[in-house]
């Protein structure tokens, strides 16, 4: 609750005054937002299943919107462009919530222990879970807007929301900056096509060292990882590489040595002589990574507990204040345009209807539906405030989802709801809540952008519902397509699957609680590693993700981090430093989207039985060299883009 001094501080004047009406909620803005939301949602689904993280779509969508409206539609107001990014950014957040949880159903369905009792989800099941979670996330955020976005304006910066507002205000350069994104998309797509479609070079050049056995140095030389590294920066990239190096350079050779010499049977209990590095990683190091990620997620949640409880308490106080203000305003003049929200009656009725839908149309059961509403309300309140403090990229969504799954699974065990049905029900609860958490964070940032620009909150809130609905329509198909073409579990049909790290973790947690059949010695070892990193005051979750993923991914991400570091060094003292670095971010976002979209296109061709070039069969070591050269040229293009004159 703001103190007296905060109440006297003036709020900023919006770009568009409340008494001025300009085009905002227009058909072209909604349609463009839907299209961009679907594109960036699909791209983030691919990226999240590949590397375990997603990137914010608000600024790229805003920039593309300005470019398209200026060049093709010969118009577009600042509030129309804001509506485009409001609708479009929902796809990215929805994708994050879905791919962090629901691919676990595909993972169980591919497991010999469950494939006869757990079927992969249908498109309708994924749509229902996604749309219910997304709608709950928007609904529960709406009553908090006046408190978190307006009353707490001077306390909660909402960094992505402010940055997006500044980009939209600087719309005079919109066409040129949109071109930067499109160049990135084209180059990322062309790189992926030449690499994975035509087969001109290898995707993952590797060097097998002569000793110790199974020590392999590799790099996944792809555009998306380079772009991710640039966006997250050198610090997080280097911590991820530290985890990757521990797994690939130390643990894989060490477990190989233990297994071949009959040592530490509790760790390498079923080691087979002659196992390759990939097998050792999948059978042993992966579970160390599971323990590390679980501890990292819980640690991020525990560190956020003070903010969580204060956020929840503040949110409840804000709701009470809003109710008091509404009562006082009975009979008062019409509410200003920039202060209009969807009604509380609509929110209460819609929330009740959604809770009933969770009970009737998902496997969650009545108990699960109650858990969904309770956890969603609590964590949406928490998420909406935390992203205001530290930004959406640092929102501990994984930790909150893990807490939801642990609480739900334990409750189901207590009431005897176990086995495959209990596992699917617990995952459903976690999936709906995870989507709600992610969407609430995105909605908060969008409403902050709108507050600074002078948008109409009620129209933005309707735009969020539209973005959630249409993105939910296609996200299931995207996940199915990626599952069919690449898979999420290593099998003879899918030798190089998408790793889906969060979904694998969620599947392991639920199964471990309900069946107690996990290799706990390896998981506890991973927790110890994360604890050590946490004691060193480093972000353990970034380290843990690096440990869980193959080392080659972390090396490529570090490449992007190095480019970001070099950019900062070159631009020291440059008056245009912020704009130039942001151009690099736009180009990096384009690389990510371009590779992801081409990856999805290749997946479509694979499902149509159109063969891709068998790269490994004829390139051998020359393919490794070509890959490194191509990746180096790509990195150079990113550096040049981020440092060129504006």
Q: Is 242 a domain residue?
A: no
Mean pLDDT of the chain: 83
Domain of 114, in residue numbers: 24-184+339-485
Note the pLDDT tens digit of each residue in 549-591.
788 888 998 999 999 999 988 888 888 787 788 788 888 878 8
Report, as an integer, the average pLDDT of 592-617.
72
Between CA 301 and CA 400 the distance in angstroms is 6
Q: What proportion of the chain, given as a percentage, has pLDDT over 90?
A: 26
Question: In 3D, which of 69, 144, 89 has the Cα closest to residue 449?
Answer: 89
Q: Is 449 a domain residue?
A: yes
Between CA 550 and CA 560 the distance in angstroms is 17
Tell me if residue 399 falls in helix, strand or coil.
helix
Note the pLDDT tens digit of each residue in 47-79.
888 777 676 777 788 888 888 887 777 778 889
Q: Is 44 a domain residue?
A: yes
Report the Cα 307 to chain-centroid distance in Å.
22
Cα 77 to Cα 16, 21, 165, 174, distances in angstroms: 10, 11, 13, 12
Q: Is 265 a domain residue?
A: no
Q: Is 175 a domain residue?
A: yes
Report, as an integer, the average pLDDT of 3-12.
54
Q: Is 203 a domain residue?
A: no
Q: Is 587 a domain residue?
A: no
Tally of residues, the chain: 646
For residue 375, what are the contacts with CB-CB under 8 A and spacing of at least 6?
A: 404, 407, 408, 429, 433
One-letter-per-residue 3-state SS of 233-302:
HHHHHHHHHHHHHHHHHHHHHHHHHHHHCCCCCCCCCCCCCCCCHHHHHHHHHHHHHHHHHHHHHHHHHH
Provide the domain count of the chain: 1
CB 103 within 8 A of CB 500: yes
Tokens 């969407």 identify what position? 439
Q: What angle do CA 551, 556, 557 make, to 5 degrees?
A: 95
Tell me if residue 132 falls in helix, strand or coil.
helix
CB 65 within 8 A of CB 17: no
Would you give the DSSP letter of residue 151? I
Q: Is 235 a domain residue?
A: no
Is the bond preceding 268 in cis, omega lying within 30 degrees of 0? no
Per-residue pLDDT for 477 more than 60? yes
Tell me if residue 207 falls in helix, strand or coil.
strand
pLDDT for residue 501: 80
**Cβ neighbour number for residue 614 with a 10 Å cutoff:** 9
Question: In 3D, which of 611, 600, 602 has the Cα closest to residue 479?
Answer: 600
pLDDT for residue 460: 96
CB 103 within 8 A of CB 484: no
């Amino acid at each position: 609750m703001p103190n007296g001094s905060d109440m006297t501080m003036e709020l900023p004047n919006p770009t568009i005054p409340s008494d001025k009406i300009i085009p905002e909620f227009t058909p072209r803005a909604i349609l463009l937002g839907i299209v961009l939301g679907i594109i960036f949602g699909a791209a983030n689904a691919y990226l999240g299943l590949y590397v375990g993280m997603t990137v914010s779509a608000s600024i790229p969508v805003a920039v593309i919107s300005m470019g398209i409206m200026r060049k093709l539609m010969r118009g577009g107001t600042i509030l129309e462009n804001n509506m485009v990014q409001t609708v479009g950014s929902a796809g990215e957040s929805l994708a994050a919530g879905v791919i962090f949880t629901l691919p676990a159903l595909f993972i169980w369905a591919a497991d010999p222990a469950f494939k006869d009792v757990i079927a992969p989800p249908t498109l309708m099941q994924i749509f229902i879970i996604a749309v219910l979670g997304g709608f709950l996330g928007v609904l529960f955020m709406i009553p908090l807007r006046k408190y978190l976005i307006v009353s707490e304006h001077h306390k909660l910066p909402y960094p992505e929301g402010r940055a997006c507002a500044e980009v939209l205000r600087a719309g005079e350069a919109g066409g040129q900056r949109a071109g930067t994104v499109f160049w990135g998309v084209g180059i990322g797509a062309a790189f992926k096509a030449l690499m994975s479609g035509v087969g001109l070079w290898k995707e993952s050049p590797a060097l097998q060292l002569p000793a110790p056995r199974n020590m392999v140095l590799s790099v996944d030389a792809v555009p998306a990882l380079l772009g991710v590294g640039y966006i997250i920066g050198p610090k997080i990239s280097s911590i991820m590489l530290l985890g990757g190096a521990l797994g690939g350079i130390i643990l894989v050779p060490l477990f190989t040595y233990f297994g071949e010499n009959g040592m530490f049977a509790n760790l390498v209990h079923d080691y087979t002589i002659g196992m390759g590095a990939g097998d050792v990683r999948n059978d042993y190091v992966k579970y160390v990574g599971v323990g590390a990620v679980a501890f990292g997620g819980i640690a991020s949640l525990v560190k956020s507990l003070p903010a969580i409880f204060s956020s929840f308490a503040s949110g409840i106080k804000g709701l009470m204040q809003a109710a008091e203000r509404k009562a006082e305003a009975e009979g008062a003049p019409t509410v200003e345009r920039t202060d209009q929200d969807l009604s509380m009656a609509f929110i209460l009725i819609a929330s009740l209807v959604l809770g009933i839908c969770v009970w009737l149309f998902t496997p969650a059961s009545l108990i699960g539906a109650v858990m969904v509403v309770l956890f969603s309300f609590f964590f949406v309140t928490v998420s909406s405030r935390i992203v205001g403090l530290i930004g959406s990229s640092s929102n501990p969504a994984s930790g909150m989802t893990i807490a939801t799954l642990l609480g739900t699974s334990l409750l189901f065990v207590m009431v005897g709801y176990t086995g495959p049905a209990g596992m699917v029900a617990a995952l459903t609860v976690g999936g709906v809540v995870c989507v709600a958490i992610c969407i609430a964070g995105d909605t908060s940032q969008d409403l902050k952008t709108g507050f600074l620009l002078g948008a109409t909150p009620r129209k933005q809130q309707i735009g969020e519902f539209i973005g959630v609905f249409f993105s939910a329509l296609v996200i299931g198909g995207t996940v199915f397509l990626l599952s069919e073409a690449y898979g999420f579990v290593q099998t003879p049909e899918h030798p190089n699957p998408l790793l889906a790290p969060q979904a694998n973790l969620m599947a392991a947690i639920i199964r471990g609680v309900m069946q107690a059949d996990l290799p706990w010695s390896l998981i506890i070892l991973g927790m110890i590693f994360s604890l050590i990193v946490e004691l060193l005051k480093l972000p353990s979750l970034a380290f843990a993700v690096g440990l869980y993923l193959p080392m080659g991914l972390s090396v490529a991400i570090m490449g992007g981090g190095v480019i970001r570091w070099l950019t900062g060094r070159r631009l020291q003292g440059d008056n245009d430093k912020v704009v130039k670095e942001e151009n690099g971010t736009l180009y990096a976002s384009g690389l990510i989207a371009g590779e992801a979209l081409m990856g999805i296109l290749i997946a479509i061709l694979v499902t149509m039985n159109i063969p891709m070039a068998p790269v490994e069969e004829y390139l051998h070591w020359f393919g490794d060299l070509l890959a490194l050269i191509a990746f180096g040229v790509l990195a150079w293009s990113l550096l040049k883009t981020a440092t060129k004159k504006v």
